[in-house]
Amino acid sequence: MNFAKLLTPQAVKVLSSTNSKKRLITELGDLAQSIYGLESAKVVEALLAREALGPTGVGRGVALPHARIEGLEEVSGLFVLLEKPVDFGSVDRLPVDITFALFAPVNAGVEHLKALALVSRTLRDASICAKLRANHSADTLYTILTEAEAVKAA
């Protein structure tokens, strides 16, 4: 599992007008529809159902919302950098400005877990998060994510 497989350059966005967790989840649904052809309402419903189990804000300004989506054929992701952090109910109570949403097929099993582990491990690295926060170009953000993995592998 690697970032180039999880993300396309089009699945990396910088959002400036998001002002709440619910609005962010709605925007993730809209992006999933436009990029992956998923039904926005179903994505939002699945993400909200997962959030009801416990917030996916993992701390230090990072959230990893994820859900299994009916009809999806492979694990896919969206990376969103928020210009204005939002309250996400994170474990450390800090607002979130880095969001990596993962969508998995209903029967994804181990692939979903591998993807979640990769994203979590990468976004736990303070230097990578600092680079992401310092750049507001989607192309640069994509490069940081895909190169971070290559550097760790070397």
Domain ranges in the chain are: 3-153
CA distance 102 to 27: 14
The architecture that CATH gives domain 3-153 is 3-Layer(aba) Sandwich (3.40)
For residue 79, what are the β-bridge partners? 12, 100
Give the tens place of pLDDT for each residue, 16-33: 989 999 999 999 999 999
**Given this model, what pLDDT does residue 148 score?**
73
Q: Which residues, given as ranges, of the chain have pLDDT below 50?
A: 153-154
Catalytic residue among 28, 66, 100, 148: 66
Verify whether residue 136 is a known catalytic residue: no
User: Helix, strand, coil: what percent of the chain each, to 5?
Assistant: 50, 20, 30
Three-class secondary structure of residue 106 per DSSP:
coil
The model's pTM is 0.94
The whole-number pLDDT of residue 154 equals: 43
